Amino acid sequence: MGKYLMIWELNLEHTPIDPKERGEGYEMLLAMVKQDIQSGLTKDWGNFVGEGSGYAIAEGSEVDVNKMVQQYTPFVRFKTHPIISLEEAAHVIKSMTG
């Protein structure tokens, strides 16, 4: 099972101009995020204040993470980065030195 840092950004091409419609769309997206957190796939989520973007930490297989990301298309774009833990990084360094 992998761990991923995902930087997300709202796709403004698919964001309603009307504030009420936009708010309803955001409520729908936040409900989906809450569902991903409850399922255990999303471990942490945050919104960069005033930017229409943010981050999520996901933990699962590549297929699980890809399925999660696809549910937000076309409203949100993601840049996804696999990450390793401190212990895993130390193991890599140790393999290099000895």
Average pLDDT of the segment spanning 16-37: 94
Helices (H) and strands (E) in the chain, counts: 3, 4
Distance of alpha carbon 85 from alpha carbon 43, whole angstroms: 14
Q: Please state the length of the chain.
A: 98
pLDDT at 97: 85
Taking only the tens place, the pLDDT of each residue in 33-92 is 999 999 999 999 999 998 899 999 999 999 999 999 999 999 999 999 999 999 999 999
The CATH number given to 2-97 is 3.30.70.1060
Q: Is 46 in a helix, a strand, or coil? A: strand
Q: Where are the domains of the chain?
A: 2-97
